[in-house]
């Protein structure tokens, strides 16, 4: 299991903010962790999948989309902050993501 | 009593321009939009020309479609969505003031243009770029319209069918506003080689602007065009009450199948004649009322011969007094978009009293002897006009419009 450092969190946050600013054509200063992806940015569900692909490549992650799908059904993402938290969990746990639910 | 249906918004994106007025000006000037193909290397194609939409379209599209959505659309879909937004703006409709459940979208879509020349296709967007329902879907999303939205594919008659269905929905009280039209481009090597194999396309590559010559003796096939035409149809009283500009009224239509051949029209234009006859009957107008026919006029041997025969069968001696012109002489054949584009041109002809010409009419076919409005636009006060569309597979449509 990968260790999430403060620098990882900063890096992921930066990538997510830049991605949404670019794709939704909004100034980055308008985005914070409480920004709602659909309501505030007019985003779409595909963006979540694109983010996963970006992080899979960047961190060379071993994780199947169906694992993320099962997790996301129980833990839906609405805000930028929630998306960052989920990406960090994916980086940390990869295919062991669902173990979190099993523990609970 | 049936409700009446009017056109309150229109837009054109074609090889002759990126706005309704630019197109109209060039059509009336008898200009050709046909040039050498620039989208790809044509060395393997017998046909090397097409009527391509100018490159300024990209900037126009960016001003109308968000980057995020544009990334999930083909260039063809972007043409249709951009044209739809311009038509809605032209109509002055504010959907906030309407019941969106009574507003619909019907588009003629033969294919979405996700071909080998399409840029930016990825595994993530290829499904959206290939969905033939994507054009009406994106338009309904843009305005959050919740009436039915769907695509119609009847080959070259697709957007004429869309117009007929939109008219019918309003007339029957199922909708108050219907955005209808189509968008298409088959300017890609696969389609050109395919149509070349059927001997359907002109190979008169030089000079390109002379290649499309409907009703001429030396016509040698159609020239592919690309573009989009979109209209806003509206219930007449509602449109009048909000002070909308009324371009023309849709008076009726006929849709028929020939049940004859996948490619060739029925011998001697029998199927075309039946369609025109039924359209006149449906609209409740007589042969004496018709002041102009915007022909399907593809510049192929069979279409132009049979369409001429069909007009003569329906109108008898009167046929010689009706101006018949082919917009495809200038715009090429825009396939799924052609029915809507040509209906828009017909509506403008009614509204403005000017008939755009058939250009390149230098060497008349002696067997085809109607008044094809040769080479120059003509002023004429028209009260009722027809727009014909006939597609591979025997899909026929004739739309009747009134001033």
Out of B66, B67, B124, whose CB is closest to A50? B124
Cα-flanking dihedrals φ and ψ of residue B106, to 5°? -135, 120
| Shared fold status for B5-241 and B253-402 | yes
Q: Catalytic pick from B28, B45, B156, B277?
A: B156
B127 or B2: which leads in pLDDT: B127
Distance of alpha carbon B362 from alpha carbon B375, whole angstroms: 8
Domains of chain A, start order? 6-96 (1.10.1200.10)
Of all residues in chain B, the percent with pLDDT exceeding 70 is 100
What residues of A are in contact with residue B66 (Cβ under 8 Å)?
A: 24-25, 42
A65 touches chain B (CB under 8 A): no
Average pLDDT in chain B: 97
CATH class as words, domain B5-241: alpha beta
Delimit the domains of chain B by residue range.
Answer: 5-241, 253-402
Counted residue by residue, chain B has a size of: 403
Whole-structure pTM over 0.80, yes or no?
yes
Query: Which tens digits make up the pLDDT trace of B52-77?
Result: 999 999 999 999 999 999 999 999 99
Determine whether B333 is an active site residue. yes
Cα dist from B317 to B287, B313, B398, whole Å: 10, 9, 20
Q: How far apart are the first and last CA of chain A?
A: 19
Query: If pLDDT is split at 50, 70 and 90, which confidence band does B132 have?
Result: very high
Fold annotation for B253-402? Peroxisomal Thiolase; Chain A, domain 1 (3.40.47)
Cα dist from B267 to B198, B248, B320, B364, whole Å: 18, 33, 21, 21
Query: If pLDDT is split at 50, 70 and 90, which confidence band does A103 have?
Result: low
Distance of alpha carbon B322 from alpha carbon B325, whole angstroms: 10
Q: Which residues of chain B from 116 to 145 reach within 8 Å of chain A, CB to CB?
A: 124
Whether ipTM tops 0.85, in short, is no
A21 touches chain B (CB under 8 A): no
Average pLDDT on B355-377 reads 98
- The pLDDT value given to residue B2: 81
Torsion, Cα B67 B73 B75 B81, to 10 degrees, reads -80
| Cβ–Cβ < 8 Å for B83, B18 | no
């Amino acid at each position: 299991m990968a260790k999430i450092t403060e620098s990882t969190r900063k890096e992921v946050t930066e990538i997510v903010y830049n991605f949404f600013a670019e794709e939704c054509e909004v100034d980055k200063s308008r985005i914070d962790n409480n920004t709602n992806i659909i309501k505030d940015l007019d985003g779409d569900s595909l963006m979540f999948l694109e983010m996963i692909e970006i992080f899979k490549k960047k961190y060379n992650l071993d994780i199947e989309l169906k694992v993320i799908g099962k997790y996301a059904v129980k833990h839906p993402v609405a805000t930028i902050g929630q998306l960052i938290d989920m990406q960090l969990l994916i980086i940390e746990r990869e295919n062991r993501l669902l173990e979190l639910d099993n523990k609970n | 009593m049936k409700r009446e249906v009017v056109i309150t918004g229109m837009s054109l994106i074609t090889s002759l321009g990126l706005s309704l007025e630019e197109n109209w000006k060039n059509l009336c000037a008898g200009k050709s939009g046909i040039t050498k193909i620039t989208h790809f290397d044509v060395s393997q194609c017998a046909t090397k020309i097409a009527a391509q939409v100018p490159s300024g379209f990209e900037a126009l599209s960016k001003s109308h479609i968000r980057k995020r959505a544009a990334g999930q659309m083909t260039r063809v879909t972007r043409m249709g969505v951009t044209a739809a937004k311009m038509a809605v703006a032209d109509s002055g409709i504010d959907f906030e003031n309407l019941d969106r459940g009574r507003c619909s979208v019907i588009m003629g879509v033969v294919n979405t243009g996700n071909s080998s020349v399409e840029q930016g296709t990825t595994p993530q967007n290829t499904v959206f770029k290939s969905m033939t329902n994507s054009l009406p879907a994106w338009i309904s999303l843009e305005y959050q319209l919740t009436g039915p939205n769907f695509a119609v594919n009847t080959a070259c008659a697709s957007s004429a069918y869309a117009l007929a269905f939109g008219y019918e929905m309003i007339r029957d009280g199922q909708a108050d506003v219907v955005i209808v039209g189509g968008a298409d481009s088959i300017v890609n090597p696969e389609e050109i080689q395919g149509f070349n194999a059927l001997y359907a396309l002109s190979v008169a590559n030089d000079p390109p602007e002379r290649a499309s010559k409907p009703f001429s003796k030396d016509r040698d096939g159609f020239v592919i065009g690309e573009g989009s035409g979109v209209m806003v149809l509206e219930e007449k009283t509602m449109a009048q009450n909000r002070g909308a500009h009324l371009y023309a009224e849709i008076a009726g239509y006929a849709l028929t199948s020939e049940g004859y051949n996948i490619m060739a029209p029925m011998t001697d234009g029998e199927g075309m004649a039946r369609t025109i006859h039924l359209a006149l009957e449906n609209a409740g107008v007589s042969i004496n009322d018709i002041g102009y026919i915007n022909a399907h006029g593809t510049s192929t041997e069979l279409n132009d011969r049979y369409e001429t025969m069909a007009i003569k069968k329906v109108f008898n001696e009167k046929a010689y007094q009706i101006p018949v012109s082919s917009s495809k002489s200038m715009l090429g054949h825009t396939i799924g978009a052609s029915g809507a584009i040509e209906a828009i041109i017909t509506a403008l002809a009614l509204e403005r009293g000017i008939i755009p010409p058939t250009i390149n009419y230098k060497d008349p076919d002696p067997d085809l002897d109607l008044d094809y409005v040769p080479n120059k636009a003509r002023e004429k006060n028209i009260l009722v006009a027809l727009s014909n569309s006939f597609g591979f597979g025997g899909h026929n449509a004739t739309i009747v419009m009134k001033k």
